[in-house]
């Protein structure tokens, strides 16, 4: 029986991991405030505090450490670079060091924001030569968040610990802070929503990430030659934020979650300035995940149906 330590168990992916990882063994959960979303007490770990991280790692003595905690406030990171670096980079290196000396596997998440979104060949948003990013394409983060996440990937690799890094993107769930929940809230309040149309990616349900993570851990355990390193993990297909908003609001209206679909106006990123710049082209090629583990995610539209269905069923 394996022991799985889940750090960040109150985040979008972390919450889904609590369920998805159950078949893998004994789960030890950790959150920043020492309690799960339903109030159940768990380990308290603040990744900004190396002592609390070390204590939890020693206490749990896990075979697999899954780090779903991260400093994810992309704009705020521009003003708090040291904290973002501590959480997304240095803490990840410390997890790796512990895992290396204890023979544990580290599973960690990274982001499409390690790329600048100009396409692997720099031909720009939807440039003629653009194809989805592969794991070994050149990275060039646009902001502090992306820089610190990339530094975390490197620190984990440098630790020498066995590891899987899943780079994902555009994560959402029926719970937590995400674009879908913002659209449902604003869609119920406003006549008109303005949404950017010149950024494309693949909206990926946190539940799919958690299920794929659990399946990869299980399959890897049974493999002779154990795969490791960075893997892209996103839903299939692609859309712009504008197209995603349209699909969310149409689907929500069909399910009675909102009374009518508001007018959705396509705008350019330049019309919606944010503190941090975001990559325009965020589509990731997941062939490496499929080749290594035989795992493939379905189209983003199916994911949206699933999450809206969950919200409509009131189980979110």
Ligand X SMILES: NC(=O)c1ccc[n+]([C@@H]2O[C@H](COP(=O)([O-])OP(=O)(O)OC[C@H]3O[C@@H](n4cnc5c(N)ncnc54)[C@H](OP(=O)(O)O)[C@@H]3O)[C@@H](O)[C@H]2O)c1
Site for ligand X in 121-150 (CB under 6 A): 149
The 201-240 contact track toward ligand X, x by CB under 6 A, reads -----x----------------------------------
- Single residue of 57, 65, 111, 244 touching ligand X by CB under 6 A: 111
- Single residue of 32, 89, 238, 288 touching ligand X by CB under 6 A: 32
Reference 288, options 164, 195, 153; nearest CA is 164
- Single residue of 4, 11, 92, 262 touching ligand X by CB under 6 A: 11
Q: Hey, what are 27's tokens?
A: 């789960």
The residue written with tokens 């060949």 in the block is 121
Task: Annotate 227-261 with b (16+ C-beta within 10 A) or e (fewer).
Answer: bbebbbbbbeebbbbbbbbbbbbebbeeeebbeeb
Phi and psi angles of residue 168, each rounded to the nearest 5 degrees, phi first: -120, -175
CB of 201 to ligand X, least distance (A): 9
Give the binding range for ligand X (CB under 6 A) out of 11-19, 93-101, 114-122, 183-191. Answer: 11-19
Q: Does 71 bind ligand X (CB under 6 A)?
A: yes
3-class DSSP state of 314: coil
Q: Assess whether 145 carries a catalytic annotation.
A: yes
CB of 45 to ligand X, least distance (A): 6
Closer residue to ligand X in complex, CB, 263/275: 275
- Single residue of 4, 8, 89, 220 touching ligand X by CB under 6 A: 8
Count the residues of the shown chain that bind ligand X, applying the rule CB under 6 A. Answer: 28
Phi and psi angles of residue 44, each rounded to the nearest 5 degrees, phi first: -105, 120
Q: Hey, what are 245's tokens?
A: 């908003």
The residue written with tokens 């710049």 in the block is 277
Residue of 71, 109, 133, 145 with catalytic role = 145
Measuring CA to CA, how many Å separate 83 from each of 70, 73, 77? 11, 11, 8
**Are residues 257 and 308 in contact, defined by beta-carbon separation less than 8 angstroms?**
yes
Segment (H or E) for 171: strand 171-172
Cβ-proximal residue to ligand X, closest one = 11
Q: Does 68 bind ligand X (CB under 6 A)?
A: yes
Q: Which residues bind ligand X (CB under 6 A)?
A: 8, 10-14, 32-33, 45-48, 68-72, 87, 109, 111-112, 149, 168-171, 176, 206
- Residues serving a catalytic function are 145
């Amino acid at each position: 029986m394996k022991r799985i330590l889940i750090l960040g168990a109150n985040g979008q992916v972390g919450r889904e991991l609590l369920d998805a990882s159950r078949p893998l063994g004994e789960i030890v959960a950790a959150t920043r405030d020492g309690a799960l979303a339903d109030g159940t007490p768990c380990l308290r770990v603040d990744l900004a505090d190396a002592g609390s991280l070390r204590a939890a790692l020693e206490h749990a003595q896990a075979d697999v450490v899954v780090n779903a905690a991260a400093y994810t406030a992309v704009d705020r990171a521009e003003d708090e670079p040291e904290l973002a670096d501590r959480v997304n980079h240095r803490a990840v290196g410390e997890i790796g060091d512990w895992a290396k000396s204890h023979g544990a596997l580290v599973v960690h998440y990274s982001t499409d924001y390690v790329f600048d979104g100009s396409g692997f060949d720099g031909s720009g948003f939807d440039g003629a030569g653009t194809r989805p990013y592969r794991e070994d394409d050149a990275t060039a983060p646009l902001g502090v968040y992306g820089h610190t996440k990339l530094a975390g990937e490197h620190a984990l690799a440098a630790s020498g610990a066995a590891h899987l890094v899943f780079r994902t993107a555009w994560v959402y769930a029926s719970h937590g802070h995400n674009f879908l929940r913002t659209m449902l809230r604003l869609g119920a309040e406003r006549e008109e929503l303005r949404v950017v149309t010149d950024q494309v990616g693949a909206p990926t349900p946190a539940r799919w990430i958690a299920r794929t993570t659990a399946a990869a851990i299980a399959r890897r355990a049974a493999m002779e030659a154990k795969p490791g390193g960075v893997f892209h993990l996103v839903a299939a297909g692609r859309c712009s934020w504008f197209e995603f908003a349209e699909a969310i609001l149409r689907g929500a209206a069909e399910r009675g979650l909102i009374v009518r679909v508001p007018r959705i106006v396509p705008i350019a990123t330049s019309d919606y300035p944010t503190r941090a710049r975001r990559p325009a082209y965020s589509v990731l090629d997941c062939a490496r995940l499929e080749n290594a583990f035989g795992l493939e995610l379905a189209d983003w539209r199916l994911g949206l149906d699933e999450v809206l269905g969950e919200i409509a069923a009131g189980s979110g």
